[in-house]
Amino acid sequence: MTEPTTLLDVRDLKVHFPIQKGVLRRVVGHVKAVDGVSFAIRAGETLSLVGESGCGKTTTGRAVLRILKPSAGEILYHPKDGPPVDLAGLDKRALRPYRRDIRMIFQDPQSSLNPRLPVLEIVGQCLRTNGIANGTELEHRVADLLRRVGLRPEYLRRYPHAFSGGERQRIGIARALALSPRLVVADEAVSALDVSVQAQTLNLLQDLQAEFALTYLFIAHDLSVVEHISDRIAVMYVGRIVELADTATLFARPAHPYTEALLSAVPIDDPRLRGSRARIRLGGEVADPARPPPGCAFHPRCAHADARCRAEIPVLREVVPGHQAACHHAESLTLRGILPEAA
């Protein structure tokens, strides 16, 4: 096999939201929702962004989709033919061709489908707008898409209220696939679903990935789902990536104390093993992204923090090949994962 090709290269991405006060809307500060995030997505893989609420994973996803305008940084997209483009700097018109290649699956199947439009319109809208299909041709296309996501093609005249949560999510997936995208950003795509429906949806996402050679940027907080679906995982904390590694390594040998704590908090789904795992209890609270502490944002809660952690912001660096971590002590710490080392 050849070297995996990079599909998307995010470099030092920053998204800051101004905090405005008073009648004159004076800017009194910035919420640094995403503050210097770099990662690369390889064609055909599933890269997951995990972290707790407010860590900036959703904002990162939305910046990649250019729903938001990044404050700084580059989002280098490698189109099928031609040189890489920096999506961060493009305006609405220039973005249009790339909107077809990068699509999104939303978290809430309720609010992401316009209740006033039938499925045909919801799924077919992007085909019509991009001048790909119209009239009966559009109906055939949408029916075909519905079949691919496991819904009956006859459903295309129905309205969203006629579907269950899992089926609505399938409609959302059909919409994402309609333009034959290369990258799909799935923002908590299965979090709102029930366990049994979640399993169906995860299987569907994997089948579609294999069928259409899709690349996923999977944003989630449920670590067992993430472990199941991802090739590589990036852990975020207060606007930064603290660790990035392939799934097996991350779960077996985390290199950042926050990852270790996060993993240890995952409930063990076997009552016989109850209490067998040493749980790391994090004290304090997640730092405020408007006023992050100096140095490493995790240091107030970290058991290994020293003077350097309090002063100097650690950069994300390669600890061992393919395993990046943003911790000053990544090499010297022996951290515990929750899965045995792969043979």
Least Cβ distance, residue 311 to other proteins (angstroms): 25
Q: Which residue lies nearer to other proteins by CB, 38 or 257?
A: 257
Distance CA 52, CA 282 (A): 13
What DSSP string describes 8-23? EEEEEEEEEEEEEETT
Nearer to other proteins, 21 or 152 (CB): 152
Q: Evaluate whether 136 touches 98 at the Cβ level (below 8 Å).
A: no
Contact 333, 254 (CB under 8 A): no
- Please report how close the Cβ of residue 26 comes to other proteins at its closest, in angstroms: 13
Whole-angstrom CA distances from 144 to 151, 182, 187, 220 are 10, 19, 25, 29
Closest CA to 11 of 33, 54, 40: 40
Please state the closest distance from residue 299 (CB atom) to other proteins, in A: 16
Residue 230 CB coordination number (10 Å): 21
Nearest approach, Cβ of residue 324 and other proteins (Å): 21
Of 318, 319, 320, 284, the residue nearest 303 (C-alpha): 284
Question: Smaller CB distance to other proteins: residue 50 or 330?
Answer: 50
Q: Is 78 or 103 the residue whose CB approaches other proteins more closely?
A: 103
Instruction: Name the phi and psi angles at 144, rounded to 5.
Output: -65, -45
The edge-to-edge listing of strands for the beta sheet with 6-21 is 26-42, 6-21, 72-77, 85-86
Would you say how long the chain is, in residues? 343
Strand-pair partners of 72: 14
Alpha helices in the chain (DSSP H): 57-64, 92-99, 119-129, 135-148, 165-177, 195-212, 223-229, 247-252, 257-264, 307-311
Residue 10 CB, shortest distance to other proteins, in Å, is 18
Give phi and psi for 54, each to the nearest 5. Answer: 90, 5
Min CB(256)–other proteins separation in Å:
14
CB 68 within 8 A of CB 40: no
Closer of 227 and 243 to other proteins (Cβ)? 227
Pairing of strands 317-320, 323-325: antiparallel
Phi, psi of 76 (to 5 degrees): -90, 115
Least separation in angstroms between CB 239 and other proteins: 16
**Residue among 244 and 262 whose Cβ is closer to other proteins:** 262
> Is the CB of 129 or the CB of 294 nearer to other proteins?
129
Shortest CB 183 distance to other proteins, Å: 12
* CB 61, min distance to other proteins, A: 12
- Residue 174: what residue type? A
Residue 36 or 172: the one with the smaller Cβ distance to other proteins is 172
The residue (of 126 and 326) whose beta carbon lies closer to other proteins is 126
